[in-house]
Amino acid sequence: MGKLTGFLEFPREAPKGRAPEERVKDWEESHVEAGADLLRRQGARCMDCGTPYCHTGKLIAGMASGCPVNNLIPDWNDLVYRGLWREASIRLHQTNNFPEFTGRVCPAPCEGSCTLGLDGEPVTIKTIECTIVDRAFAEGWISPEPPAVRTGKRVAVIGSGPAGLAAAAQLNRAGHTVTVIERADRIGGLLMYGIPNMKLDKSIVDRRVRLMADSGVRFVTGVEAGRDIPVSRLLADYDAAVLCCGATQARDLAVEGRNLSGVHLAMEFLHANTKSLLDSGHADGQYISAKGKDVVVIGGGDTGTDCVGTSLRHGAKSVTQLEILPEPPPVRAADNPWPQWPKVYRLDYGQEEAAALQGSDPRLYSIQTKRMVGDSEGRVQELHVSRIEWKRAADGRHTPAEVPGTDRVLPAQLVLLALGFLGPEKKGLVHDLGLKLDDRGNVVTDGERMTSVPGVFAAGDMVRGQSLVVWAIEEGRKAARGVDRYLMYGETYLP
């Protein structure tokens, strides 16, 4: 462990970043580096618990508990405390292919399960993780690792998000010849176009992709499997395929006025913004601008937060975010015990920025949208909303009920729908392969992540539904083990 009495001596400390009023002026990553002394103190706080939950990666009553990729957190906390950074990097990469991604965008369920959080503040696990990998890159400790021997087996990975990249990295490590096929013009999937630059700088993604390419992974962009490459050819040209196409079928909002101009799905807004930023620094104008507009984001979660932060950087007149659920409590509720992820009130970066500019949290809770109203030219101008109460029905489920007399009109010239996703797109590969789906519309797989079609595997959000980047990485690693075992006559040495 770190220092025997460290958790008693040192409080939780986080590195201080730029003020929100400053960071909304550009698209630079808001992540800040932490000093070695600060992190040594934080590593010293790790208690080396007799039964640590931080790295368990379990679901308890449907709620996440600990790290899904089973990061050996107490080990590298101790190594950081002792100043053994290179050894910490080696230990970190044993379980996580991309700690530079999770160290930036993961909400850190590990911290929610830290034993110190029972009666205080948890260890700054996420900050330590990110600093380890950033230092490893800066010191040149991370370099291409092509396999010593090739198996002669060919694997296609469809989709280059975190699940696809993790599967490709592991399969390449096993010696298989891996081709990653991506329909967008850049590699990265959600990491590239679903997460804004200020949250994950795209040079970080490109750096890892170059490293994988130098290790032997082949990347193909602008090609859609199932359309540009027919299913018959895909099955004939490769010994196995791993589908990592994400949960890209967005949930829509069926209300009056949905088809007005100025109403967009969140991913349309975020994808176009990042592509234009990378292509031309927004000079091409090929994005949906929030400049000078009253923006209403319907839906919470990470996607809603990213819409808030992006709109503010465009120069929105105002930003309001509507949440259909009640405001979370300031501390854990009785039905949300440790080591579950704490469902408590918190300000993410977007809400923090909006509060700094507008004077208050932009979120309105327990709000339903009744209709949208436009002008004579069909452009959205208003949202008509009302408050709701959540009541327990006879079957035990909570259902919303409108509160009479709470109607309200919000100005809105741009409405962004961040309502989550309904699984993978059902057209294309899923349909052409005839894959079996569950009652939620996700692809059904066995314990090895093989689908109903022999030799075709699936991983990530298209299997488990909309989830975290860290879960996608674990899904990709699990699928890689299944593929390796399938190709190598029942054996695999992949972790």
> Is the pLDDT score of 48 beyond 80?
no
Average pLDDT over residues 352-361: 97
Residue 205: its pLDDT value, please? 98
> Is the pLDDT score of 394 beyond 90?
no
Average pLDDT over residues 286-296: 98
Main-chain dihedrals φ then ψ at residue 23, nearest 5 degrees: -70, -20
CATH 1.10.1060.10 boundaries in the chain: 6-139
CATH 3.50.50.60 boundaries in the chain: 154-248+422-487, 263-417
State pLDDT tens for residues 363-391.
999 999 999 999 999 999 999 999 999 98
CATH number of the 6-139 domain = 1.10.1060.10
Residue that has been written with the tokens 């595997």 in this structure: 457
Average pLDDT over residues 255-262: 97
> Is the pLDDT score of 2 beyond 80?
no
pLDDT band per the 50, 70, 90 thresholds, residue 47: confident
Q: Which fold has domain 154-248+422-487?
A: FAD/NAD(P)-binding domain (3.50.50)
| Percentage of the chain modeled with pLDDT above 70 | 100
Residue 195: its pLDDT value, please? 97
State pLDDT tens for residues 433-469.
999 999 999 999 999 999 999 999 999 999 999 999 9
On the CB side of 85, CA atoms within 13 Å amount to 19
pLDDT band per the 50, 70, 90 thresholds, residue 83: very high
Average pLDDT over residues 411-428: 96
Residue 1: its pLDDT value, please? 63
Q: Mean pLDDT in the chain? A: 95
Q: Which of 105, 109, 137 lies closest to 125 in space, CA to CA?
A: 109
CATH number of the 263-417 domain = 3.50.50.60
